Amino acid sequence: MRLNFAQAVQAIGTVVGPVLASHVFFKNVNDNSLESVQWVYLGIAIFVFILAGVFYIANIPEVTDADMERQMELTGGVFTATENKSLKSQYHLWWAAASQFCYVGSQGNPYPAPSHLKPLEHLTNKSDKTVAVAGYFVNYVTETRGHTTAAQGANFLAGAQGCFAAGRFLGTFFMKFAKPRWVFLGFFTGVIIFQAAAVGARKNAGLACLNLVLFFESICFPTIFTLGIRGLGKHTKTGSTVIVGAIIGGAVIPPMLGAAADHFNNTGPAMFVPLIFFVLAYSFPLAVNLHKPLAKLMDGFLESEVGTGDKGFTVEEAVAAETGGTGMGVGKREDI
């Protein structure tokens, strides 16, 4: 839930950023040359470099593999199914990584171009693009909704990104009252339904379908990540890099969509390509809900009371946890 909330705040930038770019940074840009906007990107690069320096010198405590393993032990044995397993035997991790690969490749991570700018000549071929559903949003709208300009399509995309941000806040809210795996399954089901509808829909119906696809996509990336590393213990940090590395799907799947769009000379029917990969990714939310051992694993921290309420561990348990000793009464919890 916390990661989804953090991502929800980040999603606001995908709405505000393009608007600022169009109406502030690129307000007086009317040509195809990148020289006129190079100072904007140089400023962004300098800011990111400074931010990296701040993180480098900041005194942020390091969470070790031993800390993660100890946290798993302190949950009272709810993760016994994954204890003492090697990383390669943590099958739910690899399943989550495969799901993330398919999902990210199908979702894409778009930032609409300012409506003042004409597309550069070498980017007019659809197969040259590098993001999927959302990245082809403008193409889809202009080709399936008559008399829609690229500038209007960019504005529609900004609205769709607003739906994406709203979905993350709403999904986070639902997770406060329902198990994350339930919310995850519900949202991913919405992605499948409306992506399938978008393949054949046209005009305003198609536009509405893609808006709903982005809305339901909202919580998928962070939820695949958090459920995928559930119960990994000392393998948590390495497992995290595996799932993050799976975003390479964003470089593999979009060219397939672009090639299909070029073949049909229309982005609408080409939307079946991300639909195929969404269906493949859908196997993970189905598994964590319908396969009982996985469902129990996903609910592990929800059933544990580590660090919640006024409950705590005995003094002996706390000392053992700090010193790395083995005298912890795992699962025994009393008021301190």
Query: Furthest-apart CA pair in the chain: how many Å?
Result: 72
Handedness of CA 191, 196, 197, 201 (dihedral sign): positive
Name the pTM for this structure: 0.72
Predicted pLDDT of residue 234: 78
**Alpha-carbon gap, residue 27 to 166, rounded angstroms:** 27
Phi and psi (nearest 5°) for 291?
-90, 110
CA separation, residue 284 to residues 268, 279, 289 (Å)? 27, 10, 9
Handedness of CA 137, 10, 98, 280 (dihedral sign): negative
Q: Are 294 and 92 in contact (CB under 8 A)?
A: yes
CA separation, residue 186 to residues 175, 208, 307 (Å)? 12, 19, 29
Which of 61-83 are b and which e, b meaning 16 or more Cβ less than 10 Å from the residue's Cβ? eeeeeebbbbbbbbbbebbeebe
Work out the burial of residue 18: count CB atoms within 10 Å of its CB; fewer than 13 is exposed, 13-18 middle, 19 or more buried. buried
Which residue has 């000379």 as its token pair?
Answer: 265
Predicted pLDDT of residue 284: 95
Regions of the chain with pLDDT less than 70: 1-37, 64-84, 108-134, 301-336
Whats the size of the chain, residue-wise?
A: 336
Structural domains of the chain ordered from first start: 2-304 (1.20.1250.20), 310-336 (no CATH)
Torsion angle, CA of 159/161/164/166, rounded to 10 degrees? Answer: -60
Looking at this protein, which amino acid is placed at residue 22?
A: S
The residues, any chain, with a CB within 8 Å of residue 54's CB and separated by 6 or more, are none
Instruction: Give the number of other Cβ atoms within 10 Å of residue 11's Cβ.
Output: 20
Predicted pLDDT of residue 46: 93
**Alpha-carbon gap, residue 217 to 196, rounded angstroms:** 14
Predicted pLDDT of residue 273: 92
Give CA angle at 255 (35, 265), nearest 5°: 95
Phi and psi (nearest 5°) for 225?
-65, -50
Torsion angle, CA of 292/193/257/170, rounded to 10 degrees? Answer: -80
Predicted pLDDT of residue 43: 83
Looking at this protein, which amino acid is placed at residue 121?
A: E
**What are the pLDDT digits (tens) for 289-329?**
999 888 888 887 655 554 444 444 444 544 454 444 444 44
